[in-house]
Structure 1
Amino acid sequence: MSSSLENEPADQVQGILDLQSVLVRAENGSEFLTGLSKLAAASISEASGDEIECAVTVKVRRRPLTAAGSSERAVELDRLEQAIGDGPCIKALREMSPVIIDDGSTDARWPDLTKKFAEMGVHSSLGIPMEISDEASAALNFFASKPGVFTQDVFKQAVGFAAAARDILHLSVRIDSAHNRAKDLESAMQSRTAIDVACGVIMAQNRCSQAEAMEILTKVSSNRNRKLRDVAAELIEQLSGSSIETHFDE
């Protein structure tokens, strides 16, 4: 059976591998997106022969926000577009299609933005959207100091990188969801264990049934206006001097 990577172009395969490495090393989402933006900037800089900067914009529900950048200036440029309220990146997210400013001096679509970009030494820009989920999307926002940098070949390279980044973002979301589900399961099992042990203590002390012990514990929880698990854990700590632990197979 052949791997799905075997069907991808060599440069895109390398992009996927590099992005996977960034994801593995990242300690949190912010660090991953920063690594992603730096890798995107380096990849497109190499393809274009010009120094490219990149920011990552994340759109949850309707509001786009700057999430990370390859440099402080990239973050500032992206935030400038957010402040103005429109531009290639925002339009790309809105229409889910890449948008280019080939030459800011002749592009009449966003005069306030291109003027500000020019003042900061940026004369061309490219926004490429990436769909993450039904409620969230992201975009790579590339900035170049010269007009005409995003040629057909460079554009193709950027779109390919964004496709690889989208796949890794999907993977990141799934990993995060699985991690959260595991934490929820662990918490639920710890709660159940603490309650069962506390009921056992009450049964021994009062020589009652499990149902009666549960009723006593529930009444204490209600009277103290505290969660059942917290009351159970407190009882165990009072008797044993330590909290309940739940062990999972590695």
Structure 2
Amino acid sequence: MQANLPLADELAALTARIADLLLTRETVDEAVSALAQALKEAIPGTLGAGVSLMDTRGRRTSTASTDPDILRADQLQYDLGQGPCLTAWAQQVTVTVDDCRTDHRWPAWSRAITDLPLRSVISTPLSTPDGAIGALKVYSPLPNGFDSKAIRLLELLARPAALMLANTQARDTAQRLSDGLIGALGARDAIGTATGIVMERLHINRDQALATLISASRRRNEPLHQLSRDIIDGGEV
């Protein structure tokens, strides 16, 4: 990205790129990984970037970091329950850290990252009309490593990114539910078919056949749907 572009032009170009990255990803994990890498490349002075999606209790549902040091710094926030990313998400405000070694807002976290080459941070929430779904963060190896333009650019990028990630989350959830439903329906159909086979073989009614299947499932320590498929394939009760 050219550094001399006006902010509006730069934002438009970056937003278009992020939209292309996020909307073509099949899963949330792929989307957050692509976004983290795009942020690292887009924000001047960035050593590494991270993206975290969180549920209403602040538990991560998906996360990505561009570098091991960023992954470590982020993991420490969640382990310790404090840090700029969690504050940005909880308060839905942009949090800036000019120097991690002199900022005392999160003392345990600041002490824990002293061995990492990270000195300044910007973290901004991924806000949607329904609330913050996570946060973006970029790290610099230098104190005061980000200027006001970098802060503003990250904030402006977070807005469309949040909506696109929320859309990806919804699509991903719907797909998992669909896959689960297909699996459940398949298991139900297999049990129904196996019950009919047992009725025919043993000349018993449906309730008796189902009871026979359940008893065999327990005796063999085999899931009922798997036993049913075995019987359909010609296996014995």
Asked if Structure 1 and Structure 2 have the same fold, meaning a TM-score greater than 0.5 normalized by the shorter chain, the answer is: yes
2:86 is aligned with 1:56: no
**Distance of 2:57 and 2:191 partners within structure 1:** 43
How far the C-alpha of 1:71 sits from its partner, in A, is 0.6
Instruction: Extract structure 1 runs of 4+ deviating beyond 6 A.
Output: 132-136
Q: Tell me whether 34-43 or 199-208 shows the greater mean CA deviation.
A: 199-208
Work out the percentage of aligned pairs sharing the same amino acid.
Answer: 21
Question: Counterpart in 2 of 1:217?
Answer: 209
Does 2:14 correspond to 1:11? yes
Structure 1: gaps of 5 or more residues: 1-7, 241-250
Is residue 117–residue 123 contact of structure 1 (8 Å, CA) maintained in 2? no
Aligned position for 2:3: none
For 2:78 and 2:93, locate their aligned partners in 1 and report how far apart those are by CA, in whole Å: 18
TM-score (norm 1): 0.71
Of 121, 139, 148, which aligns to 1:143? 139
Structure 2 CA distance, aligned partners of 1:144 and 1:58? 22
What residue in structure 2 maps to residue 191 of structure 1?
Answer: 187
CA spacing shift, 1:43–1:215, aligned 2, 3 Å: same
Structure 2 contact 53–63 (Cα < 8 Å) conserved: yes
Q: Is the 2:89–2:132 Cα contact (8 Å) retained in structure 1?
A: no
Q: Is the 8 A contact 2:195 2:213 kept in 1?
A: no
Q: Is the 8 A contact 1:220 1:231 kept in 2?
A: no
The number of residue pairs the alignment matches comes to: 221
Task: Specify the SS of the correspondent of 2:136.
Answer: strand
2: CA distance between counterparts of 1:231 and 1:133? 48
1:155-194 equivalence runs, <5 A: 155-194=151-190
RMSD value over aligned CA atoms? 3.4
The Cα offsets for residues 57-96 of structure 1, whole Å up to 9 and x where unpaired, read as 3434535559321111111222344455422212112212
> TM-score, normalization: structure 2?
0.74
Contact residue 118 and residue 140 of structure 2 kept, 8 A: yes
Go from structure 1 to structure 2 and tell me whether the alpha carbon gap of 1:204 and 1:10 turns closer, same or farther (over 3 Å shift): same
**Taking structure 1 as reference, are residues 204 and 79 closer, same or farther at Cα in structure 2, changes over 3 Å only?**
closer
Query: In 2 relative to 1, CA 197–52 (structure 1 residues): closer, same or farther, beyond 3 Å?
Result: same
Query: Matches of 2:145 and 2:134 in 1, distance apart?
Result: 23
C-alpha change, 1:121 and 1:195, in structure 2 (3 Å) is closer
1:89-117: CA deviation from partner (whole Å, max 9, x where unpaired): 12112212211113446644345655665
Structure 2 alignment gaps of length 5 or more: 1-10
Q: Is the 8 A contact 1:57 1:64 kept in 2?
A: no
